[in-house]
Amino acid sequence: MLRAGAHAQCTRSRDRTPRRRDARGGETLSPDGAGTGRRLQASCPSMDEVQARELLGFLHLDTRPDLKGQATGYILGLTGNVEGRTLLAGRPDFLEALLLLTGDRSLAVVKDSYHSLINLSVAVATHEVLAKELPVLLHRLLDPGYAFADQVCTLLSNLSREEGTCRQVFQAVQEEGLGLAWVVEAFCTEGYNKKAALHYLGPLLSNLTQLPETREFLLDRSRCVVQRLLPYTQYEASAIRRGGVIGTLRNCCFEYKYHEWLLGAEVDLLPFLLLPLAGPEEFPEAEMERLPVDLQYLPQDKQREKDPDIRKMLLEAVMLLTATKAGRQLVKEKGTYLVVRELHQWETEPDVQAACEKLIQVLIGDEPEPGMENLLEVKIPEDVEERLQHLDREEERQQGQQETQSKGPGAQMGSSGLSR
């Protein structure tokens, strides 16, 4: 069981680079503390070199299955806390051993190994070793019969978070002969792998689109790629997949040269961003007709996107689309204001409310002065940049505190592999 990932950072309009989906932390797993007495002293994370060597001795394919199972269980326990992670992240020998055991015959061992690796991949220090296995991991990811494709997917999504490793992941994707097109194909094919939901392909795509070259591919006008992702902004079965796609779309919205195409009839992105933000409110006929067809006559039980972070990303994406004059015009024409106005009245999360207000200002405000028309290209004086960055850090810090208060370690779920 995976803890929901850390959340996307707020994006100011001065940002000139897309963000990866998650700025802090990674997908980590942690064991449940109680009732697992079978573990080898899991409560004590410290380990001297002798103990480490002894433990490493169990991490082989030909170790007795019960011992191997206990060893990987113990490792997973270690990776559940910061000290254990720091300890293991600096040990390429352990990482390599765990990678090897993902090919073990015992499913429990494979699962524990993957989950340990997922936890460890949060630390950038592990990436060098893990990146060597990218070709194998990608092959497993896209193998429709591989039972642990979900774990691989989560691992890759963690790895692609950091820009350098992300580039390596992308390279491997391209070199494996199948390319990004296949990742998109797997994403869009319901039941691609009967044993894995592959929802983490969403965050993976989102992370990959921090690179301009992946954005170029998704936004290739002669193909049909980004269009196929659009329906997933309303994918109810998984907030991971939905959030991933919306993060991907938001990243794509940084490419202002594509804004007119994205907003035009060929892609028609805007309704897909607005629909999750729309509620069941009824509009007068005249106003209703101004909305995109997808937003007209919504049923009385229409629900808004449940996750406030996703709502915020949606608003940020729309905001980015208003960066150019032509884009602003198109966004204004399609009744965006009506939807955001209603959302603002309904919204209770302060930061999402703030995002609504920012967007409303652009939608109902005057056109900016000449030279400021393209908000993504405006030059920001250094001192202002610095001040804004300071504010950003401040905001993050506050949000981080709220996060710990509201979720806390108690929300971390145990891995089911451990109790066996």
Residues that bind other proteins (CB under 8 A): 181, 185, 188, 222-224, 227-228, 265-268, 271, 293-294, 296-300
Contact predicate 160/20, CB 8 Å: yes
The one-character DSSP state at 193 is: B
Two tokens, residue 124:
């950038």
Are the C-beta atoms of 248 and 218 separated by less than 8 Å? Answer: yes
On whether the CB atoms of residues 419 and 36 are closer than 8 A, the answer is yes
Q: Which is nearer to other proteins, 40 or 188 (CB)?
A: 188
Tell me whether residue 13 or residue 227 sits nearer to other proteins (CB atom): 227
Instruction: Report d(CA 139, CA 153) in Å as an integer.
Output: 11
Q: What is the dihedral of CA 147, 151, 153, 155, to 10 degrees?
A: -150
Compute the least distance from the CB of residue 161 to other proteins, in Å. Answer: 28
CA angle 93, 155, 276 (to 5 degrees): 165
In the bound state with other proteins, the residue whose beta carbon lies nearer, of 239 and 275, is: 275
**CA atoms 148, 158, 173, 126: torsion sign:** negative
Nearest to other proteins of 14, 290 (CB atom): 290
Smallest separation, CB 171 to other proteins (Å): 20
Task: For the CB of residue 309, give the shortest distance to other proteins in the complex, in Å.
Answer: 27
**CB nearer other proteins, residue 203 or residue 271:** 271
Q: What is the DSSP string of 332-380?
A: HHTTHHHHHHHHHHH---HHHHHHHHHHHHHHHSPPPPTT-S-TTS---
Q: Give me the least distance between CB of 322 and other proteins, in Å please.
A: 23
Cα dihedral 403, 409, 415, 420 in deg (nearest 10):
-170
For the bound state, the minimum distance from the C-beta of residue 177 to other proteins, rounded and expressed in Å, comes to 15
Question: CB of residue 220 vs other proteins: minimum separation in angstroms?
Answer: 8
Pick between residue 267 and residue 330 the one whose CB is nearest to other proteins: 267
Nearer residue to other proteins within complex by CB, 67 or 224: 224
Residue type, 242: R
CB of 264 to other proteins, least distance (A): 10
